[in-house]
Amino acid sequence: MKKILFALALALLVAAPASAQNKPKKEAANKASNKTEKKEDKAPPIVHPKLGTKVVTDSITVELVGRKQNYAPGVKETAEKDINSPKSVNIHPSGKKYYVNSLEGGTTVVFDFETNKKITTIRHNFTQKDAHLWAKPSGLFPFKHYTKNLNTFMGKPVESTFSHNGRYLWVPYYRRSFDINAQDPSAMAVIDTKKDSIVRLFETGPLPKMIATSPDNHYVAVTHWGDNTVGVLDIHSSNVEDWHYISCLVVDYQLKLNYSLTTPVNRDVNSGYCLRGTVFTPDNKYLLVGCMGGSGGIAVVELASGKYLGRITGMMSNLRHLVIKNGYLYLSINAAGYIQRIKLKDFVEAIPNLNEKQKTYSLKGWENCKVPAGARTIVLSPDGNFLFAACNTASCLAVVDTRTMKQVTTISADSYPVGLDISKDGRYVLLTSQGRNNGGGNSVDIFKVDYHTVKKVASNNRQQSEGKISTMVSGVAGEILKSAQEP
């Protein structure tokens, strides 16, 4: 039987046109990935894997050991009513607690990391009584559609970033609740993590999503998905009252927003570049912002001059999240499901190619790794040897060995995961599943990770021969041969 299957595989390989065999994966992935965050293929069936679900490989073991969820209230040991469309999770630098932002619930839920019990729920509801929390208006974000009760609203928390060694947690709001189409200024809160209460409120541009703190704790940057702009604040002081905006930068062009005030539209698509992933370079010289929509690329801001320089392109389109680790810039490609990386040195050396006449530069040399569809947030292990990706469409957590840039395993997760964080020691990965169209999601999955040395198993001549043949076969033929070798 194996001989027959092998012959069929070889025949398929020979029969395939050379153009089809050599077609670049990048071209196919670009066509498949030219979509924004919510414009994806039809969602697969909802899944809720059992606690104890485990995958084991030669190099890593991942097990689902805990959960907080709001889809099965009868399961008391895991039920949590304040988990409502969780968008992101952030583990405090101390490792003692973690914060979950529930977008539709308008809450940030705080849990004890060791016991997994809820400490408190921070509610993002504001009235005129909270006027003392607001920072002085910057003048950068004027209201154009609403004029009354601007500071009375519920905020919908998206992502978070810590500053001042974990003392403060910054949380931007997708929109103020009265602004149904996220076209006027939104806001963000600063949470004092010692008190777990909001101590400051700042205005933002329309529809902020990602936020990041510079390594030297001098800046916070918040990206506005809604209109192609990025706000930058000076936070170097230890006094919250000293923090202030220094600029709002435009990435190529600013969107003119004039939507209905009564009929909602989908603001997750058709929003210019759909700015998302945001990261500072380790030397605090540049701010990098991923363009998930439009013609894509990574927008570059020079912090010393406070100028937007242009966009580095050359990677696949529909990039969602950016991470810098061990001298590499990593990014996730959402719809198509890829992880890409390039040496940070090569990326930085390409920046001088951006100038007033040339606002884009195509950088070559990206390494690619295929993962399941819907790659959203990514995190890396402390040593940088493993990358974890929340794969939304495929409802799983993918694991990539960065030493080979190959996927080593996946493990099922509650449907439609989006957010991730990893403990300081790398032993736990926390994943938020937001859900889609009121289905799936509403949970936080907790995975335990064990890393172990790869064991080299001696292979006999037959296994070695089959292994060499396997590397020669691609596409459909490769899948046939692979199935013939599995038990």
3-state SS, 390-451, equals EECCCCEEEEEECCCCEEEEEEECCCCEEEEEECCCCCEEEEEECCECCECCCEEEEEEEEE
Tens digits of per-residue pLDDT, 199-230?
999 999 999 999 999 999 999 999 999 999 99
Q: How many CA atoms lie within 13 A of 185 on its CB side?
A: 19
In this predicted structure, what is the pLDDT of residue 440? 83
Tell me the average pLDDT across 136-152. 97
Strand order in the sheet with 118-123: 86-91, 97-102, 107-112, 118-123
- On whether the CB atoms of residues 229 and 253 are closer than 8 A, the answer is no
126 Cβ neighbours under 8 A, 6+ residues apart: 133, 151, 152, 153, 154, 155, 201
- On whether the CB atoms of residues 315 and 360 are closer than 8 A, the answer is no
Q: Which carries the bigger pLDDT value, residue 231 or residue 27?
A: 231
pLDDT at 470 over 90: no
Quick check: is 469 in a domain?
no
Quick check: is 160 in a domain?
yes
359 Cβ neighbours under 8 A, 6+ residues apart: 252, 310, 311
Nearest CA to 398 out of 433, 373, 423, 415 is that of 373
Quick check: is 72 in a domain?
yes
Give the H/E segment covering residue 386: strand 386-391
Tell me the average pLDDT across 447-471. 55
Burial of 373 (0-12, 13-18, 19+ CB in 10 A): buried
**How far is the C-alpha of 417 from the C-alpha of 439, rounded, in Å?**
12
Mean pLDDT, the chain, rounded, equals 88
Domain count, the chain: 1
Quick check: is 90 in a domain?
yes
Tens digits of per-residue pLDDT, 399-445?
999 999 999 999 999 999 999 999 999 999 999 999 887 778 899 99
Quick check: is 274 in a domain?
yes
Q: Which carries the bigger pLDDT value, residue 356 or residue 454?
A: 356
pLDDT at 456 over 80: no
Place of tokens 């008190």: 195
Tens digits of per-residue pLDDT, 41-59?
566 789 999 999 999 999 9
CATH number for the domain harbouring residue 144: 2.130.10.10
Q: Which band of pLDDT confidence, cut at 50, 70 and 90, is reported for residue 367?
A: very high
Q: Which band of pLDDT confidence, cut at 50, 70 and 90, is reported for residue 477?
A: very low
In this predicted structure, what is the pLDDT of residue 454? 53
Q: Which band of pLDDT confidence, cut at 50, 70 and 90, is reported for residue 123?
A: very high
Quick check: is 86 in a domain?
yes
Nearest CA to 189 out of 219, 206, 211 is that of 211
In this predicted structure, what is the pLDDT of residue 403? 98
Burial of 260 (0-12, 13-18, 19+ CB in 10 A): exposed
Taking residue 224's Cβ as centre, other Cβ atoms within 10 Å add up to 29
What domain range is 333 assigned to?
A: 34-455
Place of tokens 């009868």: 74
Quick check: is 251 in a domain?
yes
Structure tokens at 277: 């992933």
Quick check: is 477 in a domain?
no
